[in-house]
Amino acid sequence: MSRVEVFVDAAGVARAAADAFEALLRERGKDGAVLGLATGSTPLPLYRELVRRHREEGLPFAHATSFNLDEYWPIAPDHPRSFARFMDEHLFDHLDLPAARRHIPSGLTPVPGLAAACQDYEAAIAAAGGIDLQVLGIGVNGHIGFNEPGALPGSRTRMVELDDSTRARARGDFGGEEVPARAVTMGLATILEARRILVLATGPDKAAAVAAAIDGPATTALPASWLQQHPDVTWLLDAPAAAAR
């Protein structure tokens, strides 16, 4: 069952999501929470709030482990638009989460070794005990991670082709440079194994995808609609993102 909470603005969404992270981190303590993380503009206010709570209130990440959803392919980790760099800039450089326990799919693994690297990523999640709390954004086309329309609910970590619409939206971020045509992403089945999922959506351009994902049928045409089959999903929406329901 999906719960839906609507806030007046993105700051409300960020605070509610940060509360869920804080509760988990404090409850797990030294046993170490396993966090599933996303990139993109939507989680930025959440990451700012987590950094603030770490700095000002001592919220500890020292025992946590993290797994990011996805990475462009091919891309070097120090490329300004890589998700590895994004995470360093916006979160990891400001927390005490040990580097050895931060995981992001590699954007540089050559194709011959890629399937094995993807299996290793799945194995690392399992070895950490599975993801306790996964944060997701949603694409305007309903993608989660880089599981674009057509992705199967049983999909696992793998290389995917990005939708033209996804690449077009990323074009501004990449300046004049070409947006990678492919990515490595956790699969829908990988995401659906997280014990708890928070989907964050803000702004009017997400409203149609949000309404269809929550209220429409579960369909491969809209990857986020498979979240209906998860037992513990909370949608945290600002009013514009909730407006089409």
Would you give the binding string for ligand F6R spanning residues 158-197, x where CB under 6 A is met? ----------------------------------------
144 counts as binding ligand F6R under rule CB under 6 A: yes
148 is catalytic: yes
70 is catalytic: yes
- How many chain residues interact with ligand F6R (CB under 6 A)? 14
Written as one letter, the residue type at 101 is R
Rounded Cα gap, residues 83 and 68, in angstroms: 9
5 is catalytic: no
Rounded Cα gap, residues 96 and 86, in angstroms: 17
Yes or no: say if 171 and 234 are a contact pair by the CB < 8 Å rule. Answer: no
Kindly give the residue spans of alpha helices, DSSP state H, lying in the chain: 10-28, 44-57, 83-90, 111-127, 164-170, 188-192, 207-215, 239-242
Q: Report in angstroms how near the CB of residue 145 gets to ligand F6R at its nearest.
A: 4
Stretch binding ligand F6R (CB under 6 A), from 40-48, 98-106, 119-127, 152-160: 40-48
* Of positions 12, 45, 107, 137, contacts ligand F6R by CB under 6 A: 137
Q: How many CB atoms lie within 10 A of CB 106?
A: 21
Interacting residues with ligand F6R (CB under 6 A): 38-42, 69-70, 137-139, 143-146
